[in-house]
Amino acid sequence: MARRRWPAVVHPHPARRAAVVHPSLGGFDTDTVDTDHVEGSAVQHRDSEDATGGQLSRRQLVKYAGVGATLAAAGPFVGVETAHADPDRQDQATAGPGRADNRIWRAGDHHIHSEYSGDFDTSTNPPTFRKGADAVYPIVTNAIMAKNFGLTWAMCTDHGGPTHSKVNLEQAYPDLLRSRRLVPEVLQFWGMEFDAPAMDHHTLMIPRHADEAKQLFELESRFAKRDPFPADPGRDTEAKMVEFLRVARNMPHKPLVIAHHTSRSATGLGVYGQDLPHEFRNGNDAAPDVYVGFEGAPGHQAGPLNGSARGGYGNHPTYGGYDQATARVGGLWDALLGEGRRWWITATSDSHVHWTRGGTDFWPGEYSKTYVLARQEYHDIMDGLRHGRIFVTTGDLITRLDVTASSQGRSAGSGETVTVSRRDRTDVDVEIRFRPPTGTNANGDRPQVRRVDLIVGRVTGLSVDRDADTNPTTAVVARFGPRDWRQQGAQYVIRHTLRDVGTDSYLRVRGTSTDEAEPLADGLESPWSDLWFYSNPVFVRVR
């Protein structure tokens, strides 16, 4: 498949950034690495003045972030008690009946930009970095707003440039350490929006450990295609991307890599731009436990509120706010799942500048959330992302989703596999439990789920065509409305049986606030009126 080459995309609407006043982050002493939060350890929050508990006041926002112009955007949202404000209050003591691992659904965002998404003056040698040229908020501001909108984990993913690896190491990382101390309720990962060789941007998430800064520096300086100065064309090849993933996989602390806005450069349905289907396959083959998925719902969802394309998808639109690779039943995502790949979807803000300040973005957690079934530990959040214990939602349509497949006394949830023996009856019982919010979302609405779809496809093995982007076996096998589910406490429960499952398969679930049978191509409608949630798949192995 021929690749369509496109100019490097920094942000779909850069002109909107120029008028935004740049807030500074000042008045903090240099910190040392916080070893209370190392990978695999239980989280132990440090005490810090005015940084514990409750909703943050406007005075605290000024004190912590030095935000200046940020207040104009943050003012209506900070300190408001809504459905999104505190997920741990929402009867989430356990994520399912009888759980003994203390895992609950925890909302987060792995694609957020700070003022370290800047630009470089390449007339000097080395290039001179300028903060705030593309995204404007300090790292701690993003953490404060993430907490305010109910996130318990987050990650600033600033894109690179010539010698940006040194900027990350020497400037951005110390600010992350300060932010961790000031907002300890939010687990704040270290990483970046990786300038992937031969591809569009990707999350590069580094596990929490004492040498996390050095690990990112090594990967960015060796493999990010924009990091060399002068530019090195040899960095921008498919082979270099595979090499990067193999190196990452062999590190003692394995990172995570997740593709961003997969089809933003696509010009039509089933047409690809910077990212091609075979590249996802090649990367997943090279590092299946590192390269694990793509954004199902890209960021920049507030674009229509300022007359821009939702998600920044100006060439070919999103569908219900989701990338075509995810939204099309039997499309690219299903093609990858049909090969048995453990390939997951997420939802992010890609926050640069809030829409009330002329940008196209919501705050982290304000509109899109990636829920991970995990303990409040860095290691376990990454484990959930790595293994598909994930569901995604927009507009706080739901706050919990448990999908379970059971047969012959065995069961599995999202990201897991249930094994069925042909010697016994091969019916598979599916249980779907979802929970709507207890209050209003960030738009002041109480969204309602109008329909839930159960989607099933076959797992048929690796495709000979490395660019295959369809799975014709995938279909919506059942649709459920309010008359089909039963209320149990604050949750709604749907039960359905798949009869005589005779081949390896997977199932996944989606739901919507709309009456659309399939998500329609997005125009300039309000994103708040077009809400969807998606589970990640449960696999069924027949033996």
* 252-302: pLDDT as tens digits: 999 999 999 999 999 999 999 999 999 999 999 999 999 999 999 999 999
Q: How many CB atoms lie within 10 A of CB 444?
A: 10
Q: What is the 3-state secondary structure (H, E, C) of 189-215?
A: EEEEEECCCCCCCEEEEECCCCCHHHH
pLDDT at 78: 55
pLDDT at 101: 86
Under the banding of pLDDT at 50, 70 and 90, the label for residue 18 is very low
DSSP state of 392: E
pLDDT at 79: 52
* 500-516: pLDDT as tens digits: 999 999 999 999 999 99
Question: What is the rounded CA–CA span in Å between residue 441 and residue 77?
Answer: 11
Helices (H), ranges, 351-457: 378-387
pLDDT at 425: 84
Number of residues in the chain: 543
* 160-199: pLDDT as tens digits: 999 999 999 999 999 999 999 999 999 999 999 999 999 9
* 308-363: pLDDT as tens digits: 999 999 999 999 999 999 999 999 999 999 999 999 999 999 999 999 999 999 99
Domains of the chain: 31-520+527-542 (3.20.20.140)
Query: What pTM does this model have?
Result: 0.87
* 94-104: pLDDT as tens digits: 444 446 689 99
- The three-class DSSP label of residue 222 is helix
Element (H, E) at 493: strand 491-498
pLDDT at 71: 44
Structure-block tokens of residue 227: 């990091």
Question: What is the rounded CA–CA span in Å between residue 269 and residue 319?
Answer: 11
| Single-letter amino acid, residue 107 | A
Q: How many CB atoms lie within 10 A of CB 32?
A: 7
Whether the pLDDT of residue 14 is over 70: the answer is no
Pick from 223, 234, 228: nearest CA to 257: 223
Q: How far is CA 383 from each of CA 248, 260, 387, rounded to the nearest angstrom? A: 16, 20, 6
Element (H, E) at 386: helix 378-387
Question: What is the rounded CA–CA span in Å between residue 479 and residue 515?
Answer: 12
Q: How far apart are the first and last CA of the chain?
A: 36
Which residues does residue 475 pair with via DSSP β-bridges, in sequence order? 456
Structure-block tokens of residue 364: 């982290």
What angle (nearest 5°) sits at the alpha carbon of residue 264, between those of residues 258 and 267? 140
pLDDT at 259: 99
Give the mean pLDDT of 80-101: 50
DSSP state of 5: P
Under the banding of pLDDT at 50, 70 and 90, the label for residue 519 is very high
